[in-house]
Structure 1
């Protein structure tokens, strides 16, 4: 009998030693409370995760180490049932843990509760880094998702909803909006959410190419089609974008001759290389963009009416930044992160005074101008400075309301069409900027945030003398 008891005692000591070894060695925190909910035992990992020494927690209530969430110990003591997979925030370390607990029952009597806490802070940090990496990959591959378009304003939410709808249908899209509003970003988002997302997204700035070059770039050419043509000919961008999407930015700058050929692509779904008589079938989704009033261009005979109706099937208006100023703080933070990465800086934030100044500005260059201003502000900062302040901001010109004036109408006969008023204001402003920059067209176009071709068009339209 004594021999049997000695054997059982030895077995118990072995089990106790094994349990103690597990208790000490496990990387998860373990805490034990008695039936009163008071801590009676914790393991070393508990201190590593919570930051609390055993002497500071023993005898303390089960709520002692919880910053956010309910105590699993108290739940177990009240229900006498296990609780699993509960997310908690622990103090004082502030770490996030996933916890589970079970009752300690001896001879059908509840003696306490034991809880295991698994630290998921590292997983959370890795997830955030992974999401950031995925976002950067989307930027590098030009596949933007709705969450990559920064802003929570109601106007931007409406645009995002229209973009989502556009991505679900194969219809041609016309993006309308001022220069610098990010029309290419929205075009890419439509492509990235569409069934064509695994195929190419080709970008074409129609204003950057001469008419002859644009035609050969879009439709390709055969060998010997013109002087300098490559041997064997060349594929056009429409062929490159087959099964994918082609984005025609500043489509209003295309000549009437090229417009006619583009109309054939939309109607017949085929292209003809320069110097060829053989049509090539293609399957390309067209997204066009313009910062001009195409209705007026049609009336002026500068844009084909039949082409306008072909591309205006699904029009989406991108609001200028001045119409969604509540998005400015979010955009500033995004640009700080982006420019920190590009310039190797560590700027943390921007002062409220600087934000107010940026909020009061009218942003004729829209989001592109805002990014430019933040970049220049960071360049103006010393390397030991981490907060963008008012003095770091470049001079913002023109200031808000700089070109506006109140016109008192004495009688109803003086009322004029709004288009006449806005065109006159645009004409005067372009003339003033042009003269201010010593009639430098390149610099004028750059400051105005428009292409040089658009500037020539506007100067010719408004009769601005060179």
Structure 2
């Protein structure tokens, strides 16, 4: 008799524990008997579906279904589990993922238990994760001062100034030709500042069409213009809030947008397109330009007051032609980099090849040198270990005439419109000039005698990388 009492007491304890788990779990659970009549639900079920015990218990399992087939009824009909069923349940048509299994005692089917997962919440979390990954890719500052190669005195002076700038909240203006490494300096300043654990946003002001630049920088409210997204859109300054925004090619911003940028720097707030209330922000601004902004001020193309604001901490990065003594260490740095990327084992570069590199004036700067070293390694046989002069591609503008890359062949069948022919030739010629310039877009724009912004437009139009 005593043993029987202990067994009953243990059974009650186990039942109490199971009841506590059933009611405390975050998963929604519903149980039906062998006839498909609801006999149990837990609080999570009510929270997700919006249905109470009075709505479900004592009623057929289909009562909670808004869209789809009852998994309980499937389980009772087949005596087999059902996994991953998508249904909509309850008055709010909540989308759920359902797993259900038969309850069998002594070989007899006595009911079915189902577990519901809120897909709405799962989708929300998946979207948040996707956005987080996108932000990490977009906002991550990759470089530090250790990535700046060279022993030139002027370069080291620029590095020391940049390190000092990193310790202040002052706006920095990086000046230098295209390809000198302004973006690496911007990354390094951010990564050495107290904002290094916050977001880093890079904006190429020349690559964004002027008509879109304002809304991209400052965002817009819903209905601000035709095609505006529902709910509006965050601007890049808001994305960078608490961190750093790098405004590359700032000299390409038009005067109207310059006025709004000045407000950001002065008032530390932005006004969205179509908005009426300013939004406070805390952003460190690093600007960069490969044009003489002081001269642009004199020409009336750049606001004097904005120039004074961004010129609080100017840093000039010397072009490669002024620090040719660094070509050797830069070449070795790029060899090491491409060895890793290409799976090669190049040991170095010989004196004749290095002399050839030193004689060149490098209009594309460090970026062009990287391009040349990469192409030289591609030209080498797998058994060769040292870059020699014969491996170097033609890279001086004097080595190849700046003319059309090839004559147009009209012998092929079919015809095209004059506009199609013009676009075909233009695309090939732009790609040709870019190759000659080591992908230096500023140099290419000068040779083509078009603006940098127009070149970016054509690169996007013709999908030239």
Deviation of 1:304 after TM superposition, in Å, equals 0.9
Structure 2 matches for 1:342-361, cutoff 5 A?
342-361=341-360
Structure 2 matches for 1:161-172, cutoff 5 A?
161-172=160-171
Query: Could you tell me the TM-score, scaled by structure 2's length?
Result: 0.59
Question: How many Å separate the matches in 1 of 2:138 and 2:209?
Answer: 29
Match of residue 450 from structure 1: 441
Gaps in structure 2 of 5+ consecutive residues: 1-135, 407-424, 453-465
Deviation of 1:450 after TM superposition, in Å, equals 2.4
- Report if aligned partners of 2:245, 2:285 keep a CA contact under 8 Å in 1: yes
Q: Given the alignment of the two structures, is residue 311 of structure 1 paired with residue 310 of structure 2, yes or no? A: yes
- Report if aligned partners of 2:140, 2:200 keep a CA contact under 8 Å in 1: no
- Report if aligned partners of 1:253, 1:454 keep a CA contact under 8 Å in 2: no
DSSP-derived class of the 1:319 partner: coil
- Report if aligned partners of 1:259, 1:307 keep a CA contact under 8 Å in 2: yes
Aligned CA RMSD, in angstroms, stands at 2.9
Match of residue 152 from structure 1: 151
* Deviations, residues 137-190 of structure 1 (Å, cap 9, x unaligned): 999943422222111121111111111111111111111100100100011111
Deviation of 1:362 after TM superposition, in Å, equals 1.0
* Deviations, residues 50-82 of structure 1 (Å, cap 9, x unaligned): xxxxxxxxxxxxxxxxxxxxxxxxxxxxxxxxx
Deviation of 1:453 after TM superposition, in Å, equals 10
- Report if aligned partners of 2:218, 2:234 keep a CA contact under 8 Å in 1: yes
Match of residue 235 from structure 2: 236
Residues 255 and 149 from structure 1, CA distance in 2 versus in 1: closer, same or farther, beyond 3 angstroms? same
Question: How many Å separate the matches in 2 of 1:140 and 1:202?
Answer: 5
Structure 2 matches for 1:274-289, cutoff 5 A?
274-289=273-288
Residues 396 and 320 from structure 1, CA distance in 2 versus in 1: closer, same or farther, beyond 3 angstroms? same
DSSP-derived class of the 1:398 partner: coil
* Deviations, residues 86-108 of structure 1 (Å, cap 9, x unaligned): xxxxxxxxxxxxxxxxxxxxxxx
Match of residue 245 from structure 1: 244
Question: How many Å separate the matches in 2 of 1:320 and 1:263?
Answer: 29
Question: How many Å separate the matches in 2 of 1:442 and 1:253?
Answer: 22
Q: Given the alignment of the two structures, is residue 189 of structure 1 paired with residue 188 of structure 2, yes or no? A: yes
Match of residue 269 from structure 1: 268
Match of residue 392 from structure 1: 391
Question: How many Å separate the matches in 2 of 1:452 and 1:234?
Answer: 35
Structure 2 matches for 1:44-59, cutoff 5 A?
none
Gaps in structure 1 of 5+ consecutive residues: 1-136, 403-431, 462-466
Question: How many Å separate the matches in 2 of 1:255 and 1:434?
Answer: 33
- Report if aligned partners of 2:172, 2:310 keep a CA contact under 8 Å in 1: yes
Deviation of 1:236 after TM superposition, in Å, equals 0.6
- Report if aligned partners of 1:445, 1:455 keep a CA contact under 8 Å in 2: no
